[in-house]
Amino acid sequence: MPNHSLPPDGPAVLDAWSHSPDVVVRVLLVEDNRELADLQVMLLEQRGHEVRAALDGGAALALVEDYVPDIVLLDLGLPDMDGFEVLAKLRALEHLDGVRFVALSGSPAEELGRSWRDAGFDLYVLKPIDIDELESIILP
């Protein structure tokens, strides 16, 4: 049974190399594109990280009731609420103090219409992102 929380369709099996990190990072990925989420979860798990995934903001909020990640990778364009709203709700939860939040978007930061820094994100990443860049971001 996979240790991520995507609904049952499950990730496709890909031939990829495994990597055992010196540090296991607890990651919450919030991404509405199922294929992209499946791929990122699989690649991060192959590198030894503990990953949970949500396809929308509501699912992310439900997941953090009993899962405290080290880092949240948060897509800004979600179907139920935008990533800024999800961030505000997550930042309001005391048990998530110290968690790092990374904004993910397919649009350049200057086109967002509001500042990701002012909203409370620690970092902004333009998609698509490759696994080496992703891992360098999540490692403390």
Higher-confidence residue: 6 or 24? 24
C-alpha 101/C-alpha 68 separation (Å) is: 12
C-alpha 123/C-alpha 11 separation (Å) is: 27
Higher-confidence residue: 99 or 10? 99
Q: Across all residues in the chain, what is the average pLDDT?
A: 86
Q: What phi and psi, each to the nearest 5 degrees, are found at residue 123?
A: -155, 155
Chain segment 28-74, per-residue pLDDT in tens: 999 999 999 999 999 999 999 999 999 999 999 999 999 999 999 99
C-alpha 69/C-alpha 87 separation (Å) is: 14
Neighbours of 77 (CB within 10 A): 14
Domain positions in the chain are 26-129
With residue 136 as reference, give the H or E element that holds it: helix 131-138
How much is the pLDDT for 9? 44
Q: Give the tokens for residue 94.
A: 């005391």
Chain segment 103-122, per-residue pLDDT in tens: 999 989 888 778 899 999 99
pLDDT band at 21 (very low <50, low <70, confident <90, very high): low
Tell the CATH topology of 26-129: Rossmann fold (3.40.50)
